[in-house]
Structure 1
Amino acid sequence: MTTDVCLVLEGTYPYVSGGVSSWTHDLIKEQPHLTFTLFCLVPPGFKTKMAYEVPGNVKEIVRVELQKLPKRLSKVGEKRKQKLMQDLIGPLLKLQTDPSLEDLEYLVTLLKEVGEIGREVLTDSPEAFDLLCQMYEKTLNTSSFLDYFWSWRSLLGGLFSVLVCPLPRSRCYHALCTGYAGLFLARASLESGRPCLLTEHGIYTNERRIEIGTAEWLDDRQSLNLNVDQRAVRKSLRDFWIESFIGYSKLAYQVAESSITLYEGNKELQIEDGADPQRLKVIPNGIDYEAYSRIPRKQGGRPTVGFLGRVVPIKDLKTLIRACSFLKAAVPEALVWIMGPTEEDEAYFEECKELVAHGGLEETVLFLGKVNIKEYLGKFDLLVLTSLSEAQPLVILEAGAVGVPSIATDVGSCSELLYGRPDEDPQLGPGGIVCPLASPSAIGEAMIKLLGEKELYEQCSRAIKARVDRYYRKELQNQAYRQMYDELLAMPDVDTLARVGARLPSEI
């Protein structure tokens, strides 16, 4: 089967609900003349329960578990295994420091020539352990070997799972982030010769920096580490992860005909990670303004604040919960609804519930779980997002179309959405309040201010509604992607290495 578009997804649609997944679902529905393959990269052991009813033009769903290589009893002899590992070490090291498409092509070709192999050879064999030891000596030989061992198995297991899995046949490939999805995009370009597209909502490497920087599991075995400078050890291990993902990003940027982001501020981060400025495009998110603007607003009742999103650390729900203590003291009757799936990180969800109980907020903060957004948007007065990282949150646009102002942290395009773009003419005024990261007092004060000052609230309500109407309609987004898909599908097959090599030096 050959489809028109292969969407390369990592940990999102159609199994996880959220902003990127909703965006993907709508993208497919709005291109009914095209057929799609969903190539879904998921964590090992991931429960693949559908969160969406996929549209009829999705003809194929391929699921690959990262770090879970197939169990294949290899017929490769001992000498061939040893030679394979020696051949792998050079390009694997370069992927962490100085990645190139030539090295990636070499890896793909090498693994293909060996035939069907799985974890028995690539991660679990004595030869693989020797490869690990050599890479350790050449890179991080002052760090904890045990920590390096688990990091190596995780990273290389993910890389190998992306390189040895079957490649779906499509007329173009479209990744919705870099990371492992971006690495697969580069492989697809090299093997198929078909054009590729990259869309980044958040910047993958930036989000991984946040997660890796706060990852407790990197310190779990520090008691076994005899190095004096513990801080340097942790930095090295974190750099090992971050540099790998930056390398994968560079490869994705090289093969993509265009790399799309949602707002101008993201382009600077893409360029830092190796993207060519000449092939960057901005296509803002859009929503069905007519549908959302018709949702009726609540009249009277208790002042209600809403959070819409996944209950995961990067959304920093703990800051919102702590801010609710300030809100309760000033507005005792206020309610705060936390709406969104809780199963992605159950330990974090439990910590949030404990924080609510510790603060005596059980009558103020309610966890509603996953809800139908359209049924709830008109039922609360104020939207609050306390995320550590965002791109262009759809929920601010959706709430804004209803006339609900937002409070958001100063991440992604939140400031642009709430205060307006530099070229906004005429200026519409603030559609809410932007707060610093991880500041419960600032979030609390903003909630109190907007709920307590009726004139300011009404001004923000009118401004955000008008801004969404003017700049963030779905029709503009759909037209842009339809045009890009048409251009990609009309392109002939190409030799990726020759195409990239023929670009100007500034474009490589």
Structure 2
Amino acid sequence: MEMPAWFVPGWRNVEPEADICLIAEGCYPYVSGGVSSWIDWLIRTHPELSFSVLAILPSMPEAEPRYQRPDNLRTVHHLYLDDRGKGQRRAWPAMTPQWYADTLNAILDHGDSDAFQELLEKLGPGRRRPSVTTLLDSPQAWQALSSGYARMPQTAFISYFWAWRALAGGLLRTLVSPLPSARLYHSVSTGYAGLLAARAAHDTGRPVMITEHGIYSNERRVEILMADWIKNSIDTGLDFTDERHDVRDFWADAFESFARIAYSAADDVIALYGDNNAFQQALGADSRKLTVVPNGVDVDRFSTLPDRVCERPTLAFIGRVTPIKDVQTFIDVAERTASKVRDFRALIIGPMDEDPEYAQSCIDAVNERGLGDIITFTGPVDVRDYMAEIDVLMLTSISEALPLVILEAGASGVPCIATDVGACREILGCPGSPGQAAVAGIGGMVAPVGDVSALVSAAVQMLNTPLERKRMGAALRSKVRIQYRSDTIAAAYTRLYSRHLCSIATREV
């Protein structure tokens, strides 16, 4: 396999230290999407700082980077979760098998930060730590696995075995892999990226920031509950009092544990809106570390748009075609809306390569229902080129934080309909509380997750009332231009970075 562009072919001791090391899991620069675009934006809006990126990926990427490399991005490093060669020594470290078992269980089951720190101490200096093979394929590792399984013997051993191997293996790779040198480490999620940030805080003493676009552990829990590759071993039926844990719980609880460790190590824990700060605090984040910095949009870029080509009433989805975006629900909405709005069309705009099987299921659904004349898949495009074609934007996501695409639509004067997740209600100015039927706000409407009837009702109402639609679009544009400007948000990160970098300079003089 050819090495992709930006690939760093080995650890280089002479590499100059970056000001900021961004730690990104499963996104930039190989996957398009909101978080990747945000990383690209963050680097470009701070040309006075040098950046490196540590990209955590399942394996070596086959695709080329999706983004042009910014001038101030020095290096992209890679950590592959399937790489068992990380680490240097083959000798077992100075710890008993039982201590190792108890410590791994404390980390995976409880997010014990003290156990995490103690394990790092036992593993030794950063560049002389044991290999993942030593830590994962030894008799001591088997004892640790067996000890963990003894806590949930009701689950199928083979399922637990592979889950433990994946989770413990990912944890250990974050602890023994080479760590880029930087003055500040900034993780864009918890998960394995958050563990690496916590490890960086321990190994270097340098400051650590975490920006969560969604609550990573919650999003993983949703995906784990939906995953058909995880087989249930316990049939609880409708008995909700059964507290036995199955392998799904093990997966989900481990990511929650990783979040607790990351929050404990971070100097700043940033959310895109206030409700997510509350989630972070509930998972153990110190309230004194919490702050809100929303997404921002380049409003000037969307102030003038290309001329409209098609006059058909158009409802559009913009985003990755993945299960968590629930594109199947958008297809259901489009099918029912077509019978209520004359000459209606729908656009599904965004990349389709993150989950090819799911994307194909969406294409099949359109074809099998004979909706090819109504619904169009555009693939990845510059969304600005399509904004003039869109009358109403619709997001059907199961989980969101503060969707950049709503800000882009707002900057373009396009009103939105969204499921009532994340900050969508807040951005669109919808009154009331979550769980209600479709609710109108100043810039659009929100509806309950998966409620096709409510979403259809909202779409039909907005598409058939052009004056109301225009009023909502203008109101949303005004709000976005005032509250979500890119330059204002970039300045907030400049202040955060400056505070930490100045403290380092003072401390290390």
Q: When the two structures are superposed, what TM-score results if normalisation uses the length of structure 2?
A: 0.89
The reply to whether residue 185 of structure 1 matches residue 197 of structure 2 is: yes
Q: Corresponding residue for 1:499?
A: none
Per-residue CA deviations over 1:263-313 (Å, capped at 9, x if unaligned) read 111112111111122221111211111221222463761111221111100
In the aligned structure 1, how far is the partner of 2:261 from the partner of 2:93? 27
Q: Displacement, 1:89?
A: 1.1
Distance 1:233 1:156, change over 3 A: farther
Q: Answer yes or no: is 1:9 the counterpart of 2:24.
A: yes
2:263 aligned with 1:253, yes or no? yes
Aligned pair in 2 of structure 1 residues 421, 49: CA closer, same or farther (>3 Å)? farther
Cα contact 2:211–2:270 (8 A) shared by 1: yes
Counterpart in 2 of 1:47?
Answer: 62
Q: Distance in 1 between matches of 2:103 and 2:30?
A: 33
Q: 1:481 to 1:281 in 2, by over 3 A?
A: same
Structure 2 counterpart of 1:64: 79
Long gaps (5+) in structure 2:
1-15, 433-439
Structure 2 residue aligned with 1:282, among 289, 292, 303? 292
CA positional deviation for 1:314? 0.3
Aligned residue number for residue 358 of structure 1: 368
Query: Is it true that 1:105 corresponds to 2:117 in the alignment?
Result: yes
Superposed displacement of residue 115, structure 1: 4.3
The answer to whether the Cα contact below 8 Å between 1:259 and 1:279 also exists between their aligned partners in 2 is yes
1:343 aligns with 2:353: yes
- 2:6 maps to what in 1? none
**SS state of the match for residue 329, structure 1?**
coil
Aligned residues: CA RMSD = 2.5
Partners in 1 of 2:21 and 2:86 — Cα distance?
Answer: 26
Provide the residue aligned with 2:43 in structure 1: 28
Secondary structure at 1:356 match in 2: helix
Q: CA deviation at 1:248?
A: 1.4
Distance in 1 (CA, whole Å) between partners of 2:186 and 2:72 is: 16
Structure 1 equivalent of residue 9 of structure 2: none
Q: 1:84 to 1:118 in 2, by over 3 A?
A: farther
Partners of 1:87 and 1:306 lie apart in 2 by: 55
CA distance in 2, matches of 1:236, 1:24: 36
Cα drift, residue 67 of structure 1: 3.9
Q: Tell me how far 1:191 sits from its aligned partner.
A: 0.5
Residues 104 and 144 in structure 2, CA contact (< 8 A), matched pair in contact too: no
C-alpha distance 71-176 of structure 1, shift in aligned 2 (>3 A)? closer
Structure 1 residues 18-72: Cα deviation after superposition (integer angstroms, max 9, x where no partner): 1111111111001001001101111135435201012011111111012432178
Question: Could you say which residue in structure 1 is the equivalent of 2:382?
Answer: 372
Runs of 4+ with deviation above 4 angstroms? 71-75, 80-84, 113-116, 227-235
Structure 1 position 162 matched with structure 2 position 177 = no
Is 228-237 or 91-100 further displaced after alignment?
228-237
Q: Secondary structure at the match of 2:211?
A: strand
Please tell me whether residue 131 in structure 1 is matched to residue 141 in structure 2.
no
Specify which of 271, 274, 296 is matched with residue 281 of structure 2. 271
Which runs of structure 2 are paired with 1:445-484 in the superposition (5 Å)? 445-484=457-496
Contact kept, 8 Å, 1:198 with 1:259, in 2: the verdict is yes
* Structure 1 position 229, deviation (Å): 4.8
Distance 1:329 1:262 in 2: 38
The answer to whether structure 1 residue 331 and structure 2 residue 346 are counterparts is no
Q: Name the CA distance, whole Å, in 1 between partners of 2:146 and 2:191.
A: 25
Query: Which range is displaced more, 50-59 or 83-92?
Result: 83-92
Q: 1:194 touches 1:493 (CA, 8 Å); kept in 2?
A: no
Cα 1:409–1:100 change in 2 (3 A) is: same
Q: Which amino acid aligns with 2:51?
A: F
Q: Secondary structure at the match of 2:338?
A: helix
CA offsets 1:96-138 (integer angstroms, 9 cap, x no match): 343333321222232336945434323334443333122211x
Give the helix-richer structure, 1 or 2.
1
Which residue is equivalent to 1:315? 325
Q: CA deviation at 1:176?
A: 0.7
Deviations 1:219-247 (A, max 9, x none): 1xx5xx5x665786985222212221122
Question: Residues 215 and 494 (structure 1 numbering): CA distance in 2 closer, same or farther, change over 3 Å?
Answer: farther
**What is the CA–CA distance in structure 1 between the aligned matches of 2:260 and 2:147, rounded to whole Å?**
25
Q: Tell me how far 1:429 sits from its aligned partner.
A: 5.3
Cα distance between partner residues in 2 of 1:66 and 1:233? 31
More deviation, 329-338/146-155: 329-338
Q: What amino acid is aligned across from residue 249 of structure 2 in structure 1?
A: D
In the alignment, which residue of structure 2 is the partner of 1:208?
Answer: 220
Deviates more, 1:119-128 or 1:268-277: 119-128
| Paired residues of 1:67 and 1:156 also in contact (CA < 8 A) | no
Find 1:301's aligned residue among 296, 299, 311.
311
Amino acid at match of 1:301: E
Q: For 1:239, which of 249, 252, 263 is the aligned residue? A: 249
User: What is the CA deviation profile of residues 453-483 of structure 1, one whole-angstrom value per residue up to 9, with x for unaligned ones?
Assistant: 1221121111111111121111210111011
Conserved? CA contact 1:69–1:160, under 8 Å: no
- The aligned residue for residue 502 of structure 1 is none
Summarize deviations over 1:391-414 as a string: whole Å, max 9, x none.
Answer: 111111111111111111000000
How far apart are 1:159 and its partner, in Å?
0.5
How many residue pairs get aligned? The number is 481
Q: More deviation in 483-492 or 102-111?
A: 102-111
State the identity as a percent. 38
> Aligned equivalents of 1:55 and 1:122: distance in 2?
38
Work out whether residues 420 and 467 of structure 1, in 8 Å CA contact, stay in contact via their aligned partners in 2.
Answer: no
Instruction: Please list the CA deviations of residues 329-362 of structure 1 after superposition, one character each: whole Å capped at 9, or x if unmatched.
Output: 1125211111111111011011111211232211
Shift in alpha-carbon separation, 1:46–1:148, aligned structure 2, 3 A: farther
Whether contact under 8 Å (1:429, 1:463) holds in the other structure is no
Are 1:489 and 2:505 counterparts? no
3-state DSSP of counterpart to 1:479: helix
d(CA) in 2 for partners of 1:272, 1:71: 34
Q: Is the 8 A contact 1:7 1:39 kept in 2?
A: yes
